[in-house]
Structure 1
Amino acid sequence: MRPRATRRRFLASAGTAGTLALAGCLNPFDDTEPVDSEYDLSVDHSLDDWDRHDPDWSAPESSPLEASFGTETIIEGLEVPWDIEFAPDGEVFISERVGRISHYSAGELEAVAEPDAVIDHAAAIETDEEGGWWAGGSEGGLLGIALHPNYPEVPVLYAFYTYQAGEEDYRNRLVLYDMDNGNEETVVVDDIPGHRNIHNGSRLAFGPRNYLWVTTGDANIESGPQDTGSLAGKILRLEPDGTAPDGNPGFEAPRVYSYGHRNPQGISFLPDATPIAPEHGPSPGRDEVNLVESGGNYGWPSVRGGPDDSEYESYAAHDDVVNPLVNTGPDVTWAPCGGVFYTGESVPALRNRFVTGGLISQRINVVTVFDGEAPDIGGRRFEADWHHPAYDAVAHPLFEDEFGRIRHVEQGPDGGLYALTSNRDGRASDAFPKEGDDRLVRIVQESS
């Protein structure tokens, strides 16, 4: 570990000082012994304490575009950020793919963890610097983060990163950091299939019942997603100590909750606690948003399209796979990544909608989910027979080409909505990065 270091960043928004108001096939999958920790990592799995729980929720029957939106920049000069995590009291942690987790307070970023094992670890990068993944457009590095549900009483921060295990051998690792003891690193799950350049998944989130959810990409291993003894191309559900919950489906790899995924880079939850996950499709198009079912098979690498898709098998021909809520088809690319089902009050036009970042689309995608037939609210509708049989979805774009690549959208404990850009990762259009990139912005509603 590198020593703690303080980095100052320009606080661009007035009034925001203070806290914000099968590579690797070593078969570790049967080893689900709890991680060794001096803290009690156990949690209550009841829904009673989840403040976003609303079993009777309903989708808004209006277009989000009836409102107008703006943004306020909170932090500038981030070095390819990937995730943002809020503590209940408003503390903020941000991961940057160069190999750093920082704590933000009073206009200052203080590095709290800098694992040397992260691929191409860098203390800093210049916007036009050549070499490394930040020039080549890799998808690896220091990725998802999540605080223990009982933080700060349990001062533990989880993280997921890509490392090199040998020549041309890349893997991912889930770790935790003891924030009270020099940010000491403890490995929770190791040897997760990884890739230097593509398909590492890597979103972390504690869900409504305090399980730790982890998304993994297929790591370019064709057989991985359909192999339930592999952790490639999966959504995992864990106890905070790294073990598999008793209620998991019971696959050979017991941490696996669902399989057949390509590259899911986000996970959130409807107010009734249903998991919802965006997923990158094969270029071009065929990006998805899925409702995640226990034991569900999501079809990759063979099933990915509708009846008229000539390159992939159709969901309509398979009753053994879960139909997508959204599939953008072969001609439209979102590159959806981190997102949140927004339930806050600060941006009322987006309340009870799934809001996800878009990378190559360089926008935020707003997906309204209807339990049954969707009303006419404009936007693009997903209601074909081969889409999810119980739900309709309607999508609208926001901020197209205004901020470049949007890596993640998150809800803060203040009910605010925040977004991270990813314009210094080697994949932005010619217009980006711009001065001040990358940045954390707050989304505000200007009128309705």
Structure 2
Amino acid sequence: MGAPTRRRVLATTGGLVALAGCLLGSNSAVDELTVPETTPDDDWADPEWRPAAGVPSEDDVTTTTAVTGLEIPWDLVFAADDAFLTERDGGVRRFDAATLATDAELSPDDGELLLEAADLPDRSAPGEGGTLGITAHPEYPDRAELFIYYTVADGAVGNRVVSYDLESETLEAVLDGIPGATTHNGGRITFGPDGYLWVVTGDAENPALTQDPGARAGAVFRLTPDGEPASGNPDWGTDGDRRIYTLGHRNPQGIAFTPQGTPIVAEHGPSARDEVSILRPGGNYGWDLVRGGPDDPEYGSYAEYDDAMPPVVNTGPETTWAPSGIAFYDGDAIVPWENHVLVCGLGSNALYALKLVPDGATLEDGDGVRYDAPWLDDRLTATAYTLFEGEFGRLRHVEPGPDGSLYLLTSNRDGRASAGFPTDEDDRLIRLEPASSSAA
């Protein structure tokens, strides 16, 4: 046998345990929320960054289709001179970042197919699963390493995070045994400003798992690039996974950080009730016992559970965002958008810009929707502005570019598009650049 190829090499840093933590039983109800045995100090402080002052508008940007003809793109990350993009039913493509910033109507073949689907061992694509999140090592290109979250089928459906060394073309498992299903696979990964790898996982259609700290479902992980627990993580007890930072999530698909390094997560709710949360270490975000306010007809109220960490946004039982990828825009190229949290909406076919201000502060709301119910997170108050509603269809992710522009990924060929989509151009990577009137 010749030298091992990337198709055959997968270090066994952790075997696939797709059923780990399933002792609670499928879809069993939980009576109380799980809390860690020891919790790190919460270093929350009021924002040092200036809360967003402007009211964002579609007129602040010009839009250009940078790449057309993609097949259900899922994630995008810029690293040095490169841009890496995943396609849910495919693999990983690499584009030149400068080309994406200047050219239009590129085809997928204008990039490099770095990894095919078959290059990822045991890879499967049931329903909403497949090749999902991607990020690059913080020291890229000196450490030429990518991290990829994808769905596997090796006796059972699960999810796995691997590292990929671009020089040796080898893969190593970093986080394995993540429960999977046709939906609710989570999948977004990123490196935080603390240098740790953050991973969000879904409940794999089994809500009870989210209250089991050994199940690896419905959780936010914080770990080293080698897959070890990050220093200072909560202690979830003997059977808990020390790599877990928070739990009680339903299907998070977006994670970003404030300029002070505080993590923000967006997740899909049940029949609306979508949420954006400012995470606290060791926090339990309530699923599936808690999911709303005191007037919610189906779920418990955050106000009634001391152990539940409330979100800054809960859209309520009547409004659906279906949030996916998010970004904190701290660039100054698009001035009115500065310091807003941008949230991509799938079912809502929209981009949301969230203004976050210390509770009680007064800033111009414009025509935004203010989330200030007393049972929500009292550290910050959010106002949401709706942008591009219905213009591009389903939006999967938003990513800031190196030059301060923004990039949107559509998801119109995933079988769930509304009337008018997909178009002949779908799926697309759309570049948002400052209009002359919005520049400083």
TM-score (norm 2): 0.84
Deviation at residue 445 of structure 1 after TM alignment = 3.1
Question: 2:355 and 2:209 mapped to 1: Cα distance?
Answer: 31
Given the alignment of the two structures, is residue 274 of structure 1 paired with residue 267 of structure 2, yes or no? no
Aligned-residue offset at 1:191: 1.6
TM alignment of 1:231-380, pairs within 5 A = 231-251=216-236, 252-283=240-271, 285-373=272-360, 374-378=362-366, 379-380=368-369
Identify which of 367, 371, 389 aligns with 2:378: 389
**Residue 402, structure 1, aligned to residue 388, structure 2:** no
Deviation at 1:437, TM superposition (A): 0.6
Offset at 1:2? 8.1
| Aligned with 1:70 (options 55, 62, 80) | 62
Structure 1 residue 220 displacement after superposition? 0.9
- Gap change, CA 1:66 and 1:418, over 3 Å in 2: closer
Q: Unmatched 5+ residue regions in structure 1?
A: 4-21, 29-53, 121-132
| Structure 2 equivalent of residue 212 of structure 1 | 197
Q: C-alpha offsets along residues 337-388 of structure 1, whole Å, 9 cap, x if unaligned?
A: 1010001122111110000110000010111111122434131000110111
Rounded to whole Å, the distance in 2 between the matches of 1:424 and 1:297 is 34
Q: Does the aligned pair in 2 maintain the 1:345–1:416 contact within 8 Å?
A: no
More helix by share: 2
TM-fit CA distance, 1:262: 0.3
Q: Does 1:25 align with 2:19?
A: yes
2:153 to 147, 158, 164: 164
Give a deviation string over 1:178-224, Cα, whole Å, max 9, x none.
1012x2211112121111x2100110010011110000000011211
* Alpha-carbon distance in 1 for matches of 2:51, 2:396: 25
Is the CA contact (8 Å cut-off) linking 1:177 and 1:184 kept in structure 2? yes
Percent sequence identity over matched residues? 47
Measured in 2, the distance between the counterparts of 1:313 and 1:58 equals: 35
Q: Which amino acid counterpart does residue 185 of structure 1 have in structure 2?
A: L
Tell me the distance in 2 between the aligned counterparts of 1:83 and 1:91: 14
Structure 1 distance, partners of 2:186, 2:378, is 26
8 Å CA contact 2:219–2:245 kept in 1: the answer is: yes
8 Å Cα contact 2:252/2:266 also seen in 1: yes
Q: How does 1:88-107 map to 2 (within 5 A)?
A: 89-105=80-96
Which residue, 107, 112, 118 being the options, matches 1:110?
112
* Distance in 2 separating the partners of 1:180 and 1:411: 27
Structure 2, unaligned stretches of length 5 or more?
Answer: 8-15, 23-45, 100-105
Question: 1:2/1:421 Cα in 2 relative to 1: closer, same or farther (>3 Å)?
Answer: farther
Which amino acid is the alignment partner of residue 287 of structure 1? D
Q: How many residue pairs were aligned? A: 383
> Counterparts of 1:282 and 1:372 in 2: how far apart (Å)?
27
User: In structure 2, the residue corresponding to 1:72 is in which secondary structure?
Assistant: strand
Q: Distance in 1 between matches of 2:349 and 2:384?
A: 15
- Are 1:80 and 2:72 an aligned pair? yes
Change beyond 3 A, Cα 1:23–1:332: farther
Measured against aligned partners, the alpha-carbon deviations of 1:378-403 in whole angstroms (never above 9, x if no partner) come to 31000110111121000001111000
8 Å contact from structure 2 (residues 268, 323) kept in 1? yes
The two structures, once aligned, show a CA RMSD in angstroms of 1.9
- 1:59 Cα deviation after fit: 1.2
**Shift of residue 98 of structure 1?**
1.1
TM-score, scaled relative to structure 1: 0.82
